[in-house]
Structure 1
Amino acid sequence: MENWTNSKLCDVANLILGAVLFLSPWLFRYDAGAVATNAHIAGIVIAIIAIAALAAFAVWEEWLNLIVGLWTMVSPWVLGFQGTRAMTVHVVIGIAVAILAAIELWEMSQHPPRLTTHG
């Protein structure tokens, strides 16, 4: 039960992080072009994965969240918006999402979910 609770808390945190990333162009007043589009798309993907994980757990969700978190973290260098407020937002949220996904993946490796009720 403890792992279930930790997993759900990580998923709720990812949902919040996805929403903040989505809203970040308005909250932190930065570029309305490709940088904002990246924030919107990555934020929506993170939030959708978190909602899916809250509804029904699956390992692929955590791997996908790890990938999206890593993308969000490196996107300032790939898209060329280093040294900006948008970079700070993307890197911090990307690191947080990737760490939360890694924690959930590590917990799963330590305590795999039981598929049966007997045993």
Structure 2
Amino acid sequence: MENWTNAKLCDVANLILGAILFFAPWVLNFDAGMVSTNAHIAGLAMAILAVAALAAFAVWEEWLNLIVGLWTLVSPWVLGFQGTTAMTVCVIIGAAVAILAAIELWVMSQNPPRLTTHS
């Protein structure tokens, strides 16, 4: 049961991080265009995946969270907005989401959930 609680806490953290990333362009005045759009899409994806994971846990949600987190982490270099506030926000939030997803995947590999029920 403890792993389930930890998984839910990670998903709630991902939801909060996704919301922060989604609203960051307005709050922190990111450049309009690709920089803001990237933050909006990545933040929305993180939040949707977190809500889906809270509703019904599935391994694929954690893999997608890992991918979105890693994309957010490297996006400043791919899209060319290094040295900006947007870069700092994307790197910190992307790293946090990727680390949380990796931890959840590792914990699940160490202690897989039971797929059978007892009568």
If the TM-score is normalised by the length of the shorter chain, which range does it land in? over 0.9
- Identity percentage over the alignment? 81
Amino acid paired to 1:38 = N
Please give the per-residue CA displacement for 1:62-94, whole angstroms capped at 9, x wherever unaligned: 000000000000000000000000000000000
Match of 2:6 in 1: 6
Match of 1:109 in 2: 109
Q: Does 1:94 align with 2:83?
A: no
**Equivalent residues in 2 for 1:53-64, closer than 5 Å:** 53-64=53-64
Structure 2 distance, partners of 1:54, 1:100, is 14
Q: CA deviation at 1:103?
A: 0.6
Structure 2 distance, partners of 1:87, 1:77, is 9
Amino acid paired to 1:60 = W
More displaced stretch, 21-30 vs 3-12: 21-30
Q: CA deviation at 1:33?
A: 1.1
Between Structure 1 and Structure 2, how many residues are aligned? 119
Structure 2 distance, partners of 1:28, 1:73, is 18
Amino acid paired to 1:67 = I
Match of 2:17 in 1: 17
Amino acid paired to 1:14 = N
Q: Does 1:27 align with 2:27?
A: yes
Amino acid paired to 2:15 = L
Give secondary structure in 2 for the equivalent of 1:81: coil
Q: CA deviation at 1:26?
A: 1.2
Q: CA deviation at 1:29?
A: 1.4
Match of 1:80 in 2: 80
Q: CA deviation at 1:36?
A: 0.2
Structure 2 distance, partners of 1:50, 1:116, is 25
Structure 1 distance, partners of 2:102, 2:28, is 27
Amino acid paired to 2:45 = V
Match of 2:50 in 1: 50
